[in-house]
Chains A and B, each alone.
Chain A
């Protein structure tokens, strides 16, 4: 199918300024998309209220509007510019929400503007929890079982039905206050009492707990000819419970067998086909570490933070390809360097993503993590082993660390560290490293954090290398092995008590 000739002017909505919970990744995606559209000969009108991005540089789009990203302003621009089409799903949730509002208010219809890429019905089906649950059930894809309850008695029955442990989520309480995990009926009754009391509508959602499950993501892309492929998959270091934006993430997955990898790949492709997404899409799974049971956590039918990471990790420009799919091209018609966009990248390296938190700027904010994202940026590193990749990421963070070592943990005892790592904090990986340095036990750490032993052993390998270095000061064989593991000159110099330049 050739590209669309009936449209000429395309509007793109950006993601606005950088805020906590939404980093600069959408500028990267948006820029790529604008350039891709221009490359195909379309006129690009960009709305983005962020002057601090290259995206709003006049060379990227033909016209740039640096106006507030509100319905009112965008509608005004549309009425003035009369674009033929609008490409949503490039400016993250902000851009997508605005496009949906414009559609609902009839602005798009009034001005004869067509929505490119994924249809608004599909977006709604992916974003509305109930509609999404219905869709998943209709194609036999498992979502986390849950029931809405209005009394303790109902809650008890619901918990038995979905199976312990469960999470109680009271409706309409600020930040989910009053909810919590229940391992048993006794817990449920205790927490349930306050949950019902705190909810203004006395409504509590009883949901099966998937705490400790592996969090796995797939980046998939589909064109209107129904060709769908996987760009890559990713595995979170932190199990389900910490927002993936706040988690250390490895790409590709590290602990899945071929069967599990393909099972989730098939599921992601079934979903993107059922949703009729045209463009990139992110699917998040919770996978039981002790069985092949999995649940779909959520789907983002747009270019997302994860897709920016997946693009850079795999070399596959998801935003660029999504934009071209939007104007009618098929995956096998889009040329990427020396190959077509219809292949799946095969990596021969490991990518680590580490989130960067603003706690150094907001010193009074608690550094505990949860289901709401707190990171404002992230670093990505590439290595041939997990150790090398992880250490590179640590050094790139600009937090003053050049190794898996932070002074503040050195003074803590093992007991204090064991206690510290049960809290989900931004610096937990450093605390785990210090604990292993002090002889901490991998199984105990695993029991407390549910972090996969494979990842913990990788940290242990680094710690073991430290002690081998200490025992073999000046040994060139040792140096070779340490460097191959990705240990910095500075860290080796520290262990060998010499100058970095000497190394």
Chain B
């Protein structure tokens, strides 16, 4: 291989492929194994960096130019990002946008996130599409590749991600004209979900992921919200059991991991997609209206359509790219969930109506109470 003075890091994948590049962010961060995934959004690296669903993952940005508009004060999805790594074709450390307060590099240094640039991300994305998401590592260029691959193969990805990113204490977010009380189970919740609910006159009590059903019930909510979050929903059996005890008592709305948890609580099955859905251009068909929404996506697991047949849940939304289940609902139990992100951030804002639907279910519930 050609020696290039500006390249000082390399990315090694479980399948043995190696990509050399230039480090940025926290170059001295503890070398650790992560799951490598790719995202196709042309904008929104700040939201992606700070989305807790990416905990322990290294994200390859398919769009080649990252850093152009810097980092703003307002667009974080969580205060302390837990993403493992950013992998880009070109990092731009001279942002140009009036709202920019930091460069991406500065923020990554602050939160000990390693980055690598100069990578042929097009080839890498193809690699992941063919081989599937896998374990990967970013090391100094001088490290021994074979040893690293061996380490990758032996490494077991952690299953405690939700407990690490969830709030440890209850926290309340109020709106000036609060009409509804939502209890939100935090499995790694994006801030824009809270903003979306507060904007619609909800007082949101965010509770830790392992809050028991009894406790949630005693908070007397008008509706229960199940958040997005990292990892496999089967790793959080406690939450599935909690939902099983609470469903039917008040409207329940789940997003992403929350949608999977909701489905599992009814006995549905989930499976892992080869390389997941991550991006802002997925067309979803709403089977009730026949209309199409362009959606923001970030998930590795999907609900098995076949397994829903024995549950009261109906499929409400389908992904038009691969026909996977993107939404379920039980009208009887006033519960529904979507696999995608109606709160967007980043991504298209076509699906805000789902929050309105949650509000109208709570309104109905209040009337009958």
Interface residues of A (CB under 8 A from B): 225-227, 229-230, 252-259, 261-262, 265-266, 269, 289-291, 331-332, 339-340, 342-350, 384-386, 452-454, 457, 476-477, 480-481
Contacts and interface: CB of A to CB of B under 8 A. Distances in A.
Interface of B: 2-6, 40-44, 46-47, 62-65, 68-69, 72, 74-75, 89-90, 92, 94-99, 121-122, 125, 279-283, 285, 290-292, 294, 320-321, 344-350
B65 A348 contact: no
Q: Most chain-B CB neighbours within 10 Å: which of A255, A258, A347, A454?
A: A258
A384 B66 CA distance: 12
Given A348-B125, A384-B89, A476 B2 contact: yes
Given A261-B43, A340-B283, A347-B63, A291 B98 contact: yes
A27 to B, nearest CB: 29
Contacts of A457: 94, 96
A476 B97 CA distance: 36
B96 A453 contact: yes
Contact of A343 (B4, B69, B283, B350): B283
B203 to A, nearest CB: 25
A61 to B, nearest CB: 31
B39 to A, nearest CB: 9
12 contacts: A257-B69, A258-B47, A258-B346, A331-B292, A332-B292, A343-B320, A348-B121, A349-B64, A350-B65, A384-B90, A385-B65, A457-B96
Q: Most chain-A CB neighbours within 10 Å: which of B46, B90, B279, B347?
A: B90
B98 A346 contact: no
A386 B89 CA distance: 12
A480 B4 contact: yes
State the 4 A-B residue pairs at the shortest beta-carbon distance, nearest first: A258-B44, A258-B346, A454-B96, A344-B281
Contacts, number: 130
Given A347-B63, A350-B64, A289 B43 contact: no
Nearest to B89: A384
B289 to A, nearest CB: 9
A476 B2 CA distance: 9
A345 B281 CA distance: 7
Contacts of B99: 257
A332 B320 CA distance: 8
B97 A255 contact: yes
A314 B282 CA distance: 16
A331 B292 CA distance: 9
Contacts of B292: 227, 229, 331-332, 342
Contacts of B92: 454
Nearest to A289: B98
Q: Most chain-B CB neighbours within 10 Å: which of A253, A257, A269, A349?
A: A257
Contacts of B42: 252-253, 261, 346-347
Given A332-B283, A342-B283, A343-B320, 14 more contacts: A226-B291, A258-B47, A258-B345, A262-B349, A289-B98, A332-B320, A340-B283, A342-B292, A344-B348, A384-B64, A384-B90, A385-B65, A457-B96, A481-B4
Contact of B64 (A225, A342, A348): A348
A480 B2 contact: yes
A261 B47 CA distance: 13
Contacts of A229: 283, 292, 294
Contacts of A332: 283, 285, 292, 320
A224 to B, nearest CB: 12
Contact of A385 (B5, B44, B74, B90): B90
Contact of A262 (B89, B98, B125, B347): B347
Contacts of B281: 343-346
A346 B43 CA distance: 10
Q: Most chain-B CB neighbours within 10 Å: which of A348, A384, A481?
A: A348
Given A332-B320, A344-B294, A348-B125, A257 B283 contact: no
Given A226-B291, A257-B97, A340 B320 contact: yes
Contacts of B68: 254-255, 454
Nearest to B39: A346
Contacts of B279: 346
Contacts of B62: 346, 348
Contacts of B285: 332
Nearest to B94: A457
Contacts of A258: 41, 43-44, 46-47, 75, 345-347
A257 B96 contact: no
A343 B98 contact: no
A256 B121 CA distance: 22
Contacts of A261: 42-44
A403 B111 CA distance: 41
A26 B252 CA distance: 52
A140 to B, nearest CB: 16
A202 to B, nearest CB: 40
A307 to B, nearest CB: 18
B63 A481 contact: no
B69 A385 contact: no
B348 A262 contact: yes
Given A226-B291, A480-B2, A481-B6, A266 B44 contact: no
B182 to A, nearest CB: 24
A94 to B, nearest CB: 33
Nearest to B96: A454
A227 B283 CA distance: 10
Nearest to B284: A342
Contacts of A385: 64-65, 89-90
A320 to B, nearest CB: 18
Nearest to B6: A481
B41 A227 contact: no
B53 to A, nearest CB: 16
A452 B65 CA distance: 16
A79 B132 CA distance: 61
Contacts of B64: 348-350, 384-385
A342 B345 CA distance: 21
A266 B349 contact: yes
B2 A257 contact: no
A225 B291 contact: yes
Q: Most chain-B CB neighbours within 10 Å: which of A265, A331, A452, A480?
A: A265
A477 B5 contact: yes
A199 to B, nearest CB: 37
Contacts of A340: 283, 320
Contacts of B44: 257-258, 261
Contacts of B321: 339, 343
Contacts of B2: 476-477, 480
B127 to A, nearest CB: 14
Contact of B96 (A255, A291, A346, A481): A255
Given A257-B46, A257-B75, A257-B99, A386 B65 contact: yes
Contacts of A347: 42, 63
A237 to B, nearest CB: 13
Nearest to B3: A477
A467 B125 CA distance: 34
A350 B63 CA distance: 9
A482 to B, nearest CB: 12
Contacts of B95: 454
Contact of B41 (A226, A255, A269, A346): A346
B358 to A, nearest CB: 21
B96 A290 contact: no
A476 B1 CA distance: 13
Contact of B4 (A257, A269, A477): A477
Contacts of B94: 453-454, 457
Q: Most chain-A CB neighbours within 10 Å: which of B4, B42, B350?
A: B42
Contacts of A227: 291-292
Contacts of A452: 96
A349 B282 CA distance: 19
A111 B98 CA distance: 57
A340 B323 CA distance: 12
